Structure 1
Amino acid sequence: MNKFEISRRELISSTATIGAASILFPTLKLSAGDTRELKIVDTNASLFQWPFRRLPLDETETLINKYRALGVSEIWAGSYEALLHRDLVGVNERLAEKCHETPELIAIGEINPALPGWERDFELCVQKHNMPGLRVHPNYHGYKLDDPSFINLLKLATEAERFVQIAVAMEDARTQHPLVAVPDVDLAPLPGVLLDFPDAKIQILNWKPRGAITSQLLQHRGIFLDVARVDSTDGIAKLIREAPENRILFGTHAPFLIPEAAMIRVAESKLNEKELRSLLSGAAQSLNRKVL
């Protein structure tokens, strides 16, 4: 049995004791003289409680223990509270405090440019908390990607050398509460918006890449994608090989999804060493050189 033939049941039952990374990648063949460890960075996680139901890993300590068992050494985390809270100063304060307590956590500030005074929230994220990136939820907050407020946020983030994470979806439409039905973010306006921001860096989270829009987005050198919702056993490999180098990042959408799910898809993708290192940490370094 090679590293890609392990059963999903075996992985899930073994992570608590010996770690998923050692199971999935035990025989990774390193280049001659290469002694680097296989660093794993999850660029798409959230802290605190999902608003609509409890999740098995929504306690931060439980989530971190799971990550440690999996061999993940760095986690970029936003906050579920940002979806429905209007007081994002408090949301980001709690997020920054929790991340400060845990060395693996990197706080990603939450911004809602549809709220009055959001520029102050941005300043606090950048100047007080020194957050390397900002996360937005346009579908939950009611604006489009060509809205002037989002364009202004993108301008400020680019000037401050911060990246922006756009969460396309948080939950499948089929399982949403009927009174809070939230469609996926429409990415169609983004390529046109980016024409005015050649130095912007944007990571698109929880998206299932499809159609011509994928190639249009990846033509911009500052667009990065995560793999949390990439379908099929060959989906990740196909995306990596079609995209420019170091543009596809590892993300799990934990704790809404169990982090093992993304690791299994990576293992089943049968990536070579260069592709694997790029996905698990190298592309994250390209997006955010200030953190790694």
Structure 2
Amino acid sequence: MICDVNVYLSRWPFRRLPCDSTPELVRKLKQNDVTRAYAGSFDGLLHKDIRTVNQRLNDDCRSHGADLLIPVGSINPALPGWEDDVIACHEQWNMPGIRLHPNYHEYELSSPEVKKLFEMAAERGLFIQIAMRMEDDRTHHKLMRIPDVNFAALPGLMKEHQQLQVTILNGMKSLRGASLTRLTENPNLTIEIAMLEGVGGIENLMQQVPYEQILFGSYFPFFYLESSLNKLKESQLGMKIEEQITWKNAEHRFAKTP
């Protein structure tokens, strides 16, 4: 059993990816024993009609992966009426969480809109995923130089909502040292391993972050699914810890029947 918390549907804006059609993606996930995958949409990065993005995401998950894919709606609090998009994710499509891309949508986590968004998510029992980056800065299109998300305001936001679950996606390329320690002092903050590098990477990460706060994420199809699977093989975790990271931690924190 594997629960993947970092999957995307639709098309990456700048090139085609292997398995970027939903049926192909679902087939690949099932072939590799992924039994649950929390999926956002690449359309949520640049499209302004977020309601339609989330409608397509929901329909795609139900049409092609109802027994596997769980939709996680995009929210852009820099757009008018974003509150209605949160309500639709929760009430119309019964999504368990929302996914944020502050760097692509050009807002800071310290903004009043984000404070309100966190309040709405906490009231509705939604988890929040925040993507720190979407690609290595060396491969950015020259017209799309996108900086990493600044997480300085996140610990303060989470202290105001003790039960709110927040996961940082694609953060392990940049988050290190004191900045990572400060974030993970809150037990409701989790990170996933898609951009974790180095042999024995998970073992090394566990010296700084409790394994209860580490989740399996692949960032598939942007990254090869096998990349994250191999991270499990190259670290000596033991069955108990491997089960926690691959599915039990996510099941405990996020499980909700869509």
Q: Read off the aligned partner of 1:272 and give its amino acid letter.
A: G
> Partner of 2:212: helix, strand, or coil?
coil
1:1-292 paired onto structure 2 within 5 Å = 39-101=1-63, 102=65, 103-208=67-172, 209-291=175-257
Q: How far is the alpha carbon of 1:291 from its aligned partner?
A: 4.3
Unaligned runs of 5+ in 1: 1-38
8 Å contact kept, 1:240–1:275: no
8 Å contact kept, 1:83–1:137: yes
Q: How far is the alpha carbon of 1:136 from its aligned partner?
A: 0.4
Query: Highest CA radius of gyration, 1 or 2?
Result: 1
Q: How far is the alpha carbon of 1:233 from its aligned partner?
A: 1.5
In 2, Cα distance between equivalents of 1:192 and 1:71: 37
Q: How far is the alpha carbon of 1:215 from its aligned partner?
A: 1.4
> Partner of 1:180: helix, strand, or coil?
coil
List, as ranges, runs of 4+ consecutive aligned residues in structure 1 with deviation greater than 3 Å: none
Q: How far is the alpha carbon of 1:108 from its aligned partner?
A: 0.4
8 Å contact kept, 2:96–2:126: yes
In 2, Cα distance between equivalents of 1:239 and 1:154: 27
8 Å contact kept, 1:111–1:118: yes
Q: How far is the alpha carbon of 1:195 from its aligned partner?
A: 2.4
CA deviation map 1:91-110 (0-9, x unaligned)? 00000001112121000011
In 2, Cα distance between equivalents of 1:46 and 1:269: 26
> Partner of 1:115: helix, strand, or coil?
coil
8 Å contact kept, 1:246–1:286: no
In 2, Cα distance between equivalents of 1:282 and 1:113: 31
Unaligned runs of 5+ in 2: none
8 Å contact kept, 1:201–1:222: yes
8 Å contact kept, 2:97–2:127: yes
In 1, Cα distance between equivalents of 2:250 and 2:187: 14
Q: How far is the alpha carbon of 1:241 from its aligned partner?
A: 4.7
> Partner of 2:26: helix, strand, or coil?
helix
Q: Which moved more, 1:109-118 or 1:228-237?
A: 228-237
Q: How far is the alpha carbon of 1:289 from its aligned partner?
A: 3.3
CA deviation map 1:178-222 (0-9, x unaligned)? 101101111122112222222221000000230211111111121
Q: Read off the aligned partner of 2:91 and give its amino acid letter.
A: Q
8 Å contact kept, 1:133–1:163: yes
RMSD: 1.3
Q: Read off the aligned partner of 1:47 and give its amino acid letter.
A: L
Q: What is the aligned length?
A: 254
